[in-house]
Amino acid sequence: MKYAIIVGFGLAGFHLARQLQKQGKEFVIISDGAKGASRNAGGVLNPTILKRYTLAWNGVAFFDHALPTYRNFEEEFDTTIFQDIPILHYFSQLSDHNNWSVAAHSKGLNQFLLPPILQSNRECIQGDLGYAKLHNVGKLEIQKMLDLYSQYLTAENLLQESFEYSQLKLHPDKVVYQGIEAKNIVFCEGFGLKKNPWFSYLPLTGSKGEFLHIRTDKLSSNEIIKAGLFIVPISKDLYWVGATFSRDDKTTQPTNKGKEWILIKLKKILKGSFEVVDHGAAIRPTVQDRRPLLGVHPQYKQLYVFNGLGTRGVLMGPLLATWLFQFMEHQKEFPPEVGIDRFETYFSNPKTQYV
Ligand SMILES: Cc1cc2nc3c(=O)[nH]c(=O)nc-3n(C[C@H](O)[C@H](O)[C@H](O)COP(=O)(O)OP(=O)(O)OC[C@H]3O[C@@H](n4cnc5c(N)ncnc54)[C@H](O)[C@@H]3O)c2cc1C
């Protein structure tokens, strides 16, 4: 009997699988091969909130766990997936200079924000109000990491198919899915959770993000630019630019409106020509209270959920996977902020309005 069936192979499913592998537990992943949020993301690892110059919730602890996790994968697979490059934060108002200085000298944030306010001397960037740098941040090549790991997993460990919820048989101490017996099943479906008959009561609101890939020889591939939107290097002269944020549209269709929004912002910062080579969209698994969703089903103790990675899956995925495993195996509590218990009233009264 397997230790777990994992449904979904984005960042959540990946980190849980790695965790189980390290603990010597057998698992099977079932994922439908759709790109999901992870394969469309910018891949930025940043524990700060640049709109407010604060740390993200639990940001330092997540960061301290994330970087060694990605470095460990690199070592094991003899590859490079994490690029340790700065974020150049361009200011949009003068008053931000002071806010930046205060933040850059405060405990926790001083690990990431470098105090000097710099003047833009780059011809291609219009940044009259200057910029400042973040270090100890960077970019994860999510697609490459997921591809490498799925090539490594045998056909037996990774089934590329849609999970049919009606086929799952629940027994008191195990689950059985199309002949596969497992002690537990962990749902890591991102926004697909909405179709899950056991966990769809959770307030996963979802936020659509659209992005472009552009080609230009004007930018450097050794830095990430944040100027209203992120410009993230992909490969030579190719950049990911995004993203929009919409709670209204829950489709994964790219729209003209989204493209226009990105182009207007991009032209404000980038001088000179560029070519748009791709336009995509995906739904971030965001939650009403902006915290992840981790835990066991209130009624069925073999069913677990790992979701709600929101806008920061790269940062939070590794530590959340550790917390979930410790909880499954040793009943070790994790911070209540991420536990699904906080939505217990939604379970007993599923019609509660939450959006
Ligand atoms: C445009 C955009 C930009 C982003 N940029 C960043 C960024 O720079 N940094 C960052 O940290 N985060 C970023 N994010 C957020 C990040 O992508 C998410 O936090 C993270 O990818 C969520 O991972 P997940 O595994 O929960 O979901 P997903 O990546 O969506 O994975 C879930 C997988 O499960 C599969 N699945 C669902 N239901 C079923 C089923 N019934 N049967 C089989 N398979 C199923 C789906 O097809 C999918 O492949 C961004 C998101 C978007 C949309």
Buried/exposed 232-259: b ≥16 CB within 10 Å, e otherwise: bbbeeebbbbbbbebeebeebebbeebb
Same domain as 179, residue 212: no
Q: pLDDT of 234-284, one tens digit each?
A: 999 999 999 999 999 999 999 999 999 999 999 999 988 999 999 999 999
Q: Indicate which atom in ligand 1 lies nearest the CA of residue 208.
A: 53
Q: Band of the pLDDT at 32, cuts 50, 70, 90?
A: very high
Residue 67 lies in a domain: no
Residue 312 lies in a domain: yes
The total domain count for the chain is 2
Q: pLDDT of 135-171, one tens digit each?
A: 999 999 999 999 999 999 988 899 999 999 999 999 9
Same domain as 221, residue 241: yes
Q: Which of 284, 291, 315, 316 to mutate to test the pocket of ligand 1 (most atoms within 8 A of CB)?
A: 284
Same domain as 314, residue 227: no
Same domain as 224, residue 279: yes
Amino acid at 280: G
Domain that holds residue 131: 84-138+206-284
Q: pLDDT of 297-315, one tens digit each?
A: 999 999 999 999 999 999 9
| d(CA 338, ligand 1 centre) in Å | 18
Judge contact between 8 and 192, C-beta under 8 A.
yes
Q: Would the CB of 318 count as within 6 Å of ligand 1?
A: no
Q: Would the CB of 65 count as within 6 Å of ligand 1?
A: no
Same domain as 274, residue 219: yes
Same domain as 150, residue 210: no
Here the CATH number for the domain that contains residue 19 is 3.50.50.60
Same domain as 229, residue 161: no
Q: Which of 6, 14, 30, 32 to mutate to test the pocket of ligand 1 (most atoms within 8 A of CB)?
A: 32
Same domain as 264, residue 301: no
Determine the pLDDT at residue 353.
40
pTM comes to 0.96
Nearest 10 degrees: Cα torsion 312, 314, 316, 320: 130
| d(CA 97, ligand 1 centre) in Å | 34
Distance CA 170, CA 172 (A): 7
Here the CATH number for the domain that contains residue 117 is 3.30.9.10
